Structure 1
Amino acid sequence: MLNTLRRIVQEVNSARDLAAALDIIVQRVREAMGTEVCSVYLLNPEIGRYVLMATEGLNKDAVRAVTLATNEGLIGYVGTREEPVNLEDAASHPRFRYFAETGEERYASFLGVPIIHHRRVMGVLVIQQKERRQFDEGEEAFLVTMSAQLAGVIAHAEATGAIGGLGWGGEVVQDTRFDGVAGAPGVAIGHAVVILPPADLKAVPDKQAKDIEAEIRLFRGALDSVRADMQTLSSKLSSQLRPEELALFDVYLMMLDDAALGNEVIKGIRAGQWAQGALREVVSAHVGRFELMDDPYLRERAADVKDLGRRILAYLQAVGQQELVFPEHTILVSEELSPVMLGQVPKEKLVGLVSVLGSGSSHVAILARAMGIPTVMGAVDLPYTRVDGMELIVDGNRGEVYTNPSHELRRQYLELVREERELVQGLEKLRDVPCVTPDGHRMPLLVNTGLLADVARSLDRGAEGVGLYRTEVPFMIQDRFPSEKEQQATYREQLEAFHPLPVTMRSLDIGGDKALTYFPIKEDNPFLGWRGIRVTLDHPEIFLVQTRAMLKASQGLNNLRIMLPMISSLFEVEEALHLIHRAYGEVLDEGVDVPMPPVGVMIEVPAAVYQARELIQMVDFLSVGTNDLTQYLLAVDRNNPRVADLYHSLHPAVLQALLKVAAACREAGKPMSVCGEMAGDPAAAVLLMAMGCDVLSMNATNLPKVKWLLRQIKLTDAKALLDEVIELDNPHLILSTLHLALRRMGLGKVLSQAR
């Protein structure tokens, strides 16, 4: 049955449209199950009725003619129950509804299962037979499995039609929304340019090489051409990114080296295969191995190898690079965006990015944030090959993409863009003004940084220092561990740029969704695995080198603070402090005169919340990373669009955890900061201030909005708001209550619009 299921799904996947897909489903399911009738009813949300969309066995004239209300007949009964209904005599059931045009009076037995996608009942799949009998458990299980498999396929076909501007009933569809993961903040309206793979490696046939040396020359020529492309694109981006950030391109150039991919392909050619076939074999072997592995770093490498393989093949096929025309407002769309693709678009024309695969932590998302380009990653339901040339709206704040925007939606988003522009201009005057509430409460606002490109933007927006410097970013964009001197130079740049303001440097935080290509960590569950402080304590040589580099970089500046990530026990803090003091002693022995910097702990896992009172006794400050803390408290992968709706930083459990940490810091008389995305949400910042948070650190883009709002609201009013929402048990209700209260105070202009 499993092979039958696979064959049906593959066939349906290749159908040209929804109608063809449904016809295949009813034909193949009827054949596979040996029944007399198979039908599909889909729920049309426009009219709120089930429509018979395809059948084998009933009267074909009834297709699209027969409709039922959602509470009508056995079809409505299956949809309402959201579970199978298995009857040996359908006509005797009180919910049976007879339609003369279908001819179904001849069929006694009935088995209907709901078709559900993302909790939405999309329709009902039905089989019927003349003989009066109940379908057995195996038949029911097969149909349920078939329905679950087909739900995504039907949704994809429905989405493809919607992209074309037509619903499956032929009605005009606009404002079709596809959800993904917020990659880089902002809103973009423009026209899609889809970058497809330049060549299809899978389509390359086997072929004997007639002239081996000629094939090798051809392959080396293609390699040289792709190398030249890489160097051209790298120099195009050089004005926007620092050399270390451009090292992403060096990873590609390394792969093209004769000792890497090149050598393997030449071996294949010498074995008798033509250049294209040898390339296909090498690339497919690498990609196949990588794609079978769970580790995010390996999957990213697979994408890189695939991208390079296609580019080389394009030259081998003598088609060169795809000639793309970029409109004034280009939104770049691809199955998997690579840093190279960003460089193909003239800087002044690129307004947005959409990637079907990838997460908010991928290289592309990091670069997009550094370049200030609104980005949506992980838009897995978007049939991206169909959107080329279409107008899109990219909402990088919420991780949404809209196709076929209506005049009204376009007007709303244009208004948002205009308001955002005016707001940013209006808030610029706050740059040098401290963040003080009307009743005199001072709230320092710091920034989260990782790239040198963040510095200018942060200072322009009035940042009072760095609450989180992600030291892993310089590590991620190299092909080896940076030396102590290289790290020292990088850290010195950050410390000097913000001097005399404080810069909080987080020790190397890799693992989970942050991988180093040269230090693979293969785990079944990386988010609960070897990451953060666990890695660096197991490798004290990495920790000591980094700490020494930080300390030396701070000489004469004295604005360094060190923060430890992913702490889950007091023992980890003891070990880390021991290593920090050892590094400090070594630096002093070298004659570098620096004071011991304040050391803090990141609160990111529930264990740290419940030990906050003990942890704060050991260190100088606590900083809450609300992104990971929310993820671990709610058991929701924040990079997974399938469960994105369950991830909510205003969840009551998250708020209670924050209150617990704030109380521990208050008792100890030491500061608490928040450096997760929550700190950059103006409404959430009001609650954090009310809880007693001493410092907020955020993306530079959001800092002026947070400053404006906190300068408008009294601390006493913020505390009253906190008292009101802390009693609520639903995160969506908390958000709407908070927004409503702030709007009533006339403070709504910096709040994000609700979906």
Structure 2
Amino acid sequence: MLGSLRSIVQEVNTARDLPSVLNIIVRRVREDMHTKVCSVYLRDKQSGNYVLMATEGLNPDAVGQVHLAPGEGLVGNVVTREEPINLEQAEAHPAYQYFPATGEERFSSFLGTPIIHHRAVLGVLVVQQAERRRFDEGEEAYLVTLAAQLAGVIAHAEATGALANIGQQRNETKFTGLAASPGIAIGRAHIIAPPANLAAVPYACSMDTEAELALFHQALSAARSEIRDVGERLKNDLNKEERALFDAYISMLDDSSIAVEVCERIRQQLTASRAWAEVMLEHVRRFEAMSDSYFRDRAADVRDLGARVLMHLRQQEQSRRDYPENTILIGEELTASVLAEVPREKLAGLVSVKGSANSHVAIIARAMGVPAVMGAQELPWEQVDGVDLVVDGYRGELHIHPGPELKRRYDAIVEEERELARNLDHLAKLPAETADGHRVRMWVNTGLMADVVRSLERGAEGVGLYRTEVPFLLRDRFPSEEEQREIYREQLQAFAPRPVTMRTLDIGGDKALTYFPIEETNPFLGWRGIRVTLDHPEIFLGQVRAMMKASVGLDNLRIMLPMISGVGELEAARRLVDRAYNELLEEGYQIERPPLGIMVEVPSAVYQARELAKRVDFMSVGSNDLTQYLLAVDRNNSRVASIYHSYHPAVLQALLQVVTAGHETSTKVGICGELAGDPGGALLLVAMGYDVLSMNATNLPRVKAALREVNKSDLDRLLQQVLLMESPEQIEEKLRGYLEDLGIGGLVQPKQTEPSSNS
């Protein structure tokens, strides 16, 4: 059975479209289970009914004609029960419904299992047999396993097919992901694909076939030269069989039949890279399908050769490609370095197939004020290059080929956002305090110089988190101490005399340096944050020295240590900070010793908050990671994104415990996670007693506006009510109602009517 499952999944993965996928499934399942019938019913998104989409054994004319509502017939019952139905005599079941068009009256036994994707029943997979018998446990388990494995493939094929149709008709269609950065972006898609991944080459056309043909032949020539050079350099280190591999590569590049196939597709107006990728993937699949193991192994060689040529093609393509106005970047997994390549004035929005609303790139998008949607797993992103679209960062929606009416509605929302921002501009110079005079410091999270002007214009009183890893992420090597000093000096000067809290290098997890790779099976519980820099004191000392040298004459620096899990790590880091400070004094630098603080991000630090607070000048909660670790949810994993919730009662209890412990030792406590930038969350934090709220600049005016409308005494009562609640949804609803009762519900997000779409 396992071999059969693998074979079906592999064959399905090579199919070009949804009908091909479904036809492979019904044919192969019928053969492998030795049944008379196999059928697939899929949900019609508009009607909500389940439609017979493919069959082997029933009347083929019934395909597309049989529609069942949830709960209707045996198939509809599989949908509502969300579990298999296994019957010896189907016609005796009270839910049985006969459809003459199918000819299924000849079949008595019935086994149907739901195809579930993201908790929704996408379809039903059915097998039937003429004789009366109950399918055994092994057969039922096989069908359940197959349905689970194929759910994602079917969903992707369905989405790809929908997009192919609208590509011809230019109708609106909608895809959903996770709302990651608020706002609306209306622009044109620009695909970012890995430079050597054949399967990730965007579908793109070019009218200039001669230029694409020339590009293709240049890439072939460059790849030949590269392979010959490598083979020549290594010839003394390789045996005869290994040297033969280089000859085989050259032979394949010289194979006129492959070149003819590629050139033919280019003449059909495909780009050179897309044509090459399609041809090479077809050859890979042919080798993978061969029964001889030797030839199957050659598929890897074909794929490697394809990637080499593709690398040359993509390099030449990227060098001549420009970013359009209102660029919306789309990729399988966007990174901070990719964002930095786009001129800020042209970047309108972001869409990432992988990741969640709390991944690193999503946090940077919020800091930049760029609308973003993450985890858009069903989007066939390779096929939307250059199309017009709308990114709805409030709902996590993407609208492809938006029509005039949809654009008009979203233009109205954009204008409403601008109006709200104008109405809040006057708050910049007003203090962040409640109506009854309770004062709170409102600082910003930053990492780019582009953030500075916006932060100061919106009334930032300091920097609660400067992400020093950003300059490291944007380079292809470690920046020198002097390069770091210049970057840090610029930031310190821009905010002086306001305090600037610089977090020491925080890499690992979802923040990887290409020149310092960290390969781990569980990176968020592995070598990251302070653990890396304590193991590499040369990196830590260089960075801390650069920070202190940058602060000469300004004295507004605060140093913060990430991911401290216990007293031992704190003491080790403190000794290194003292060493760097003393070295600089000996070198003649006139510097003040900067305050030293820690980030509370892991549960152990919550439980040791009192002991840690005694040893530092300040503490700041990193609520994003703390929520992740308390709830055991990888915040980059869109599959479990719905479980990640900053209002979870356990998270709120931990936040209260930290600030209480800090104040018991007279230590100032701030928070620099995303919760601080949410108006409802900020009010709870003020009630808890947090001294500093640090957030992205975009949220500063909204949080300040909410704060100035309330009394601290009222917030204290609100907090006590919230702490008795048992679910994050209940708490969120309570806060939303509280803000609406105050007449400031619009601060959560702009009021808006539901945009309609005919998708």
Whole-angstrom distance in 2 between the partners of 1:744 and 1:202 = 52
Would you say 1:502 and 2:490 are equivalent positions? no
Q: Which runs of 5+ in 2 are unaligned?
A: 202-214, 236-242, 255-272, 285-304, 755-759
Match of 1:536 among 524, 533, 537: 533
Whole-angstrom distance in 2 between the partners of 1:89 and 1:682 = 59
- Quote the residue 1:557 is aligned against: 554
1:345-360 to 2 correspondence within 5 Å?
350-357=347-354
Q: Retained in 2: the 8 A contact 1:265–1:275?
A: no
Q: 1:518 to 1:199 in 2, by over 3 A?
A: closer
Q: Which moved more, 1:500-509 or 1:512-521?
A: 512-521
- Quote the residue 2:594 is aligned against: 597
Would you say 1:179 and 2:181 are equivalent positions? no
Whole-angstrom distance in 1 between the partners of 2:341 and 2:580 = 44
Q: 1:53 to 1:360 in 2, by over 3 A?
A: closer
Q: Retained in 2: the 8 A contact 1:335–1:384?
A: yes
Would you say 1:40 and 2:40 are equivalent positions? yes
Whole-angstrom distance in 1 between the partners of 2:585 and 2:341 = 48
Q: Retained in 2: the 8 A contact 1:175–1:409?
A: no
* Distance apart, 1:306 and its partner CA: 10
Q: Retained in 2: the 8 A contact 1:436–1:711?
A: yes
Whole-angstrom distance in 2 between the partners of 1:738 and 1:407 = 36
- Quote the residue 1:104 is aligned against: 104
- Quote the residue 1:78 is aligned against: 78
Q: Which amino acid aligns with 1:145?
A: T
- Quote the residue 1:135 is aligned against: 135
Q: Retained in 2: the 8 A contact 1:332–1:352?
A: yes
Q: Retained in 1: the 8 A contact 2:356–2:641?
A: no
- Quote the residue 1:301 is aligned against: none
* Distance apart, 1:117 and its partner CA: 0.5
Would you say 1:688 and 2:681 are equivalent positions? no
* Distance apart, 1:127 and its partner CA: 0.6
* Distance apart, 1:308 and its partner CA: 9.1
Q: Retained in 1: the 8 A contact 2:360–2:510?
A: no
1:375-423 deviation line (CA, Å, top 9, x unaligned) = 3344332012343454322134564423355666544432321122122
* Distance apart, 1:674 and its partner CA: 0.7
TM-score, with length taken from structure 1: 0.81
Q: Retained in 2: the 8 A contact 1:163–1:176?
A: no
Q: Which amino acid aligns with 2:52?
A: L
Would you say 1:118 and 2:118 are equivalent positions? yes
Would you say 1:381 and 2:378 are equivalent positions? yes
* Distance apart, 1:362 and its partner CA: 8.5
- Quote the residue 1:232 is aligned against: none
RMSD, aligned CA: 3.9
Would you say 1:715 and 2:748 are equivalent positions? no
- Quote the residue 1:207 is aligned against: none
Q: Which amino acid aligns with 1:619?
A: V
Aligned to 1:662, the other structure's residue is in SS state helix
* Distance apart, 1:55 and its partner CA: 1.8
Would you say 1:449 and 2:437 are equivalent positions? no
- Quote the residue 1:331 is aligned against: 328
Q: Which runs of 5+ in 1 are unaligned?
A: 205-214, 224-257, 289-304
Q: 1:456 to 1:650 in 2, by over 3 A?
A: same
1:183-216 deviation line (CA, Å, top 9, x unaligned) = x553201243556789986999xxxxxxxxxx9x
Whole-angstrom distance in 1 between the partners of 2:443 and 2:190 = 37
Q: Which amino acid aligns with 1:672?
A: V
Q: Retained in 2: the 8 A contact 1:197–1:310?
A: no
- Quote the residue 2:51 is aligned against: 51
Aligned to 2:512, the other structure's residue is in SS state coil
Q: Which amino acid aligns with 2:187?
A: G
Q: Retained in 1: the 8 A contact 2:367–2:697?
A: no
* Distance apart, 1:309 and its partner CA: 5.9
Q: Which moved more, 1:651-660 or 1:719-728?
A: 719-728
Aligned to 1:686, the other structure's residue is in SS state helix
Q: Retained in 2: the 8 A contact 1:8–1:28?
A: yes
Q: Retained in 1: the 8 A contact 2:187–2:326?
A: yes
- Quote the residue 2:640 is aligned against: 643
Aligned to 1:520, the other structure's residue is in SS state coil
Q: 1:44 to 1:375 in 2, by over 3 A?
A: closer
Q: Retained in 2: the 8 A contact 1:351–1:373?
A: yes
- Quote the residue 1:526 is aligned against: 523
1:706-734 deviation line (CA, Å, top 9, x unaligned) = 12221222222322332333222222232
Q: 1:199 to 1:528 in 2, by over 3 A?
A: closer
Q: 1:78 to 1:610 in 2, by over 3 A?
A: same
**Count of matched residue pairs:** 681
Q: Retained in 1: the 8 A contact 2:441–2:461?
A: yes
* Distance apart, 1:17 and its partner CA: 4.3
* Distance apart, 1:357 and its partner CA: 4.6
1:257-656 to 2 correspondence within 5 Å?
264=230, 274=250, 277=253, 310=310, 312-313=312-313, 329-335=326-332, 350-357=347-354, 372-396=369-393, 399-403=396-400, 405=402, 410-656=407-653
Whole-angstrom distance in 1 between the partners of 2:252 and 2:358 = 34
Whole-angstrom distance in 2 between the partners of 1:78 and 1:64 = 19
1:225-261 deviation line (CA, Å, top 9, x unaligned) = xxxxxxxxxxxxxxxxxxxxxxxxxxxxxxxxx9x99
Q: Retained in 2: the 8 A contact 1:190–1:393?
A: yes
Aligned to 2:51, the other structure's residue is in SS state strand
Q: Which amino acid aligns with 2:664?
A: E
Q: 1:265 to 1:455 in 2, by over 3 A?
A: farther
Q: Which amino acid aligns with 2:633?
A: V
Q: Which moved more, 1:730-739 or 1:505-514?
A: 730-739
Percent of aligned pairs with the same residue?
59
Q: Which amino acid aligns with 1:72?
A: E
- Quote the residue 2:4 is aligned against: 4
Whole-angstrom distance in 2 between the partners of 1:120 and 1:683 = 31
Q: Which amino acid aligns with 1:177?
A: F
* Distance apart, 1:341 and its partner CA: 7.4
1:154-185 deviation line (CA, Å, top 9, x unaligned) = 21233234446779xxx998562320472x55
